[in-house]
Amino acid sequence: MQQFDVVILGAGFGGSLTALLLDRIGLSVALIDRGTHPRFSIGESSTPAAGYLLQSLSQKYDLPQFQPFCKYGTWQQTCPDIACGVKRGFSYFAHQPGQMFQTEPAHGSELLVTANLSEPLADTHWYRADVDEFFAKEVRKSNVLYLDQTEIQLQRTAGWEVSGRRNGEDVSLRAAFLIDASGTAGLVPRALGMVPQTEFATRSRAIYGHFQDVKLWDEILEQNNVDRGDYPFVCDQAALHHVLQEGWMWQLRFNNGITSAGFVLDERQADQDWQQMLDRYPAIQAQFAEASVIGPETGLVTTGRLQRGWAQCAGPDWALLPHTAGFIDPLHSTGIAQTFCGIERLVSVLEQHWTKDARREQLANYSDSLQKERALIDRLVACCYRSRFDFSLFAASTLFYFAAATCFEHQRSQEQKQPLFLCADDGEFTQTVGQWLELVSLLEQRQAVPAYEIRQAVKQAEQMLVPWDRVGLFQPVVPHMYYYTAAPEMEPR
């Protein structure tokens, strides 16, 4: 039986990066995965905070091979064979069932929020099959023991015993500490018999896959004579959101001809399948007229409820990475950045307190931090779902997320602080988000809300966010067109 300080379960990019960082601080590490790379994986949209955190980690722990992934330009210069997409920001378009997309005065059905100043400095969509494989290959080059194609069982003794089979041979490891990066599998909390959390403000499910030959949304707009002269960037070079009566749709384009796309449906209102959704929205249907599913091999993925979580995210000899600890919804592209934020915090705890009595308390704080972040993301997403009945109200709800993101970016880069992800440790901000959620929930429950009440609510949102509005939210020169929002300090010098 081989003895390790840490065994990590799950070799997505999060598990692989954690293994490399722990190896850098001198711990003995094994990384175990039941599958192989490359493989289909979802969760692909990066943000300025994600790029900043990856750059910070790669510099602090001397892993320069990951720095090119922080921006689209350096990615293309250094790793052009690893597929990705250019992401200038977020774009949103509101649709009505049975109608082609229609613009309204003052961009009343459009919203574009810029996150970076140019294509070379842009964020990216990660084609996870390529990116995860690259991270795993870097693990193979290190001191970390990497075992793929390994099915395991866990037994907690004085530490952990990890046993299983790999290619017909027995595997037996002992670990002083276990990190669960297995995502939805939740191997450690299930082994501990933990009860999952079920209470969330958001209630959604998804239908998704990877496609080829998806027509550009910009092309659909051009065919319908939509004036795009005010747009701060090409709307497809973004995390593109179609805002629908039943929920919303994401589209992320990679430079290998593949598009990640999925409908995320409000379970309180919608039970449609993929084709039914296309049939209800002619403009989106036109995009997919010649498209075909190319991943996963089994066809479109249809999920149950997306929201999940564990009430405890760490113990004296174990910890969950953020995506294992819980998940809310892909609406705000929080996954990659929150994963890096959690990895940074967990590795720091193990580096500073590995042999100290304070480790237990620090891990309890880590567990609490993931719960606070999950609760805030839940509220931020739920605000948008409850606001979909009016696009101006939905746009105001998105600005609560952008206020959180830009405040987090500013505190990290300008003030040299380390707040929780999206400033989830700011009690006043989380309370304000909760108040906004209550307001829009009440408005949603009414059959009809007069336009003047919607305007009053949007004005109230602006006033509520004044303490956290660092980038001029609510008052762009061109309505609903934000030409730059990320903190300038997030851009590489």
Are residues 202 and 329 in contact, defined by beta-carbon separation less than 8 angstroms? yes
pLDDT at 492 over 60: no
pLDDT, tens digit (0-9, with 9 covering 90-100), for 161-191: 999 999 999 999 999 999 999 999 999 999 9
Q: Tell me the C-alpha distance between 493 and 489, whole Å.
A: 8
Same domain, 156 and 263: no
Are 319 and 179 in contact, with CB atoms under 8 Å apart? Answer: yes
Task: Tell me the longest C-alpha to C-alpha distance in the chain.
Answer: 70
My answer on whether 242 and 323 are in the same domain is no
Record the tokens describing residue 230, joined without a space: 């005010």
- The count of other CB atoms within 10 Å of the CB of residue 362 is 18
Q: Which tokens belong to 150?
A: 């390994």
Confidence category of residue 484, pLDDT binned at 50, 70, 90? confident
Q: What is the mean pLDDT of the chain?
A: 96
Angle at which helices 48-60 and 335-353 cross, to 10°: 30
208 phi-psi bin (left φ>0, alpha ψ -120 to 50, beta other): beta
| Helix, strand, coil share of the chain (percent; to 5) | 40, 25, 35
CA trace torsion 380, 405, 346, 153 (10° rounding): 40
pLDDT for residue 489: 47
The pLDDT confidence band at residue 486, using thresholds 50, 70 and 90, is low
339 with 476, same domain?
no
380 and 392 both lie in a single domain:
no
Do 299 and 293 contact (CB within 8 A), yes or no?
yes
CATH number for position 295: 3.30.9.100
Number of helices and strands in the chain (H, E): 14, 21
User: What's the distance, CA 9 to chain centroid?
Assistant: 20
Strand partners, 219: none
Task: Give percent of the chain above pLDDT 70.
Answer: 98
Examine the fold and report which residue of 320, 355, 385 is the final residue of a domain before the chain moves on: 385
Residues 81 and 172 in one domain: no
Average pLDDT for 289-306: 97
User: Is residue 182 domain-shared with residue 330, that is, in the same domain?
Assistant: yes
Say yes or no: 61 and 42 in one domain. Answer: yes
- d(CA 173, CA 2) in angstroms, rounded, equals 5
Q: What is the dihedral of CA 62, 68, 71, 76, to 10 degrees?
A: 180
Q: Are residues 169 and 134 both part of a single domain?
A: yes
Phi, psi of 35 (to 5 degrees): -110, -160
Q: How far is CA 254 from each of CA 238, 292, 330, 386, rounded to the nearest angstrom? A: 11, 15, 17, 31
Task: Fill in the amino acid letter for 324.
Answer: T
Query: The domain containing residue 376 runs over which residues?
Result: 1-70+127-197+311-385
Give the list of residues 6+ apart from residue 386 with CB closer than 8 angstroms, or none: 397, 437, 440, 441, 443, 444
Same-domain status, 98 and 191: no
User: Mean of the pLDDT values across residues 116-126?
Assistant: 96
Please answer whether residues 187 and 162 qualify as being in contact, where contact means their C-beta atoms are separated by less than 8 angstroms.
no
Among residues 348, 208, 359, which one has the least CA distance to residue 277?
208
Q: What single string gives the DSSP state of each residue in 47-79?
A: -HHHHHHHHHHHHHTT-GGGGGGGSHHHHHHH-
One domain, residues 234 and 342:
no
- pLDDT tens-digit readout, 307-336: 999 999 999 999 999 999 999 999 999 999
DSSP assignment, residue 197? Answer: P
C-alpha span between 343 and 341 (Å, rounded): 6
Last residue of a domain, one of 269, 302, 335: 302
Identify whether residues 102 and 235 lie together within a single domain.
yes
Mean pLDDT of 141-158: 96
Buried b (16+ CB within 10 A) or exposed e, 82-101: bbbbbbbbbbbbbbeeeeeb
Q: State the pLDDT at residue 338.
A: 98
Question: For residue 75, what are the CA distances in angstroms to 69, 134, 277?
Answer: 5, 13, 35
The whole-number average pLDDT for the span 239-259 is 98
CATH number at residue 341: 3.50.50.60
The pLDDT, as a whole number, for residue 158 is 86
Question: Rounded to the nearest 5 degrees, what angle is found at the Cα of 148, between the Cα atoms of 145 and 149?
Answer: 145
Residue that terminates a domain, selected from 279, 302, 325: 302
Of 445, 371, 44, the closest CA to residue 200 belongs to 371
Residues 6+ apart with CB under 8 A from 460: 439
Same domain, yes or no: 418 and 438 = yes
Residue 128 is encoded by which pair of tokens?
């996870």
Contact 135, 17 (CB under 8 A): yes
Number of domains in the chain: 3
The DSSP output letter for 135 is H
Residues whose CB is less than 8 angstroms from the CB of residue 377 and which lie 6 or more positions away in sequence, other chains included? 328, 329, 332, 334, 338, 422
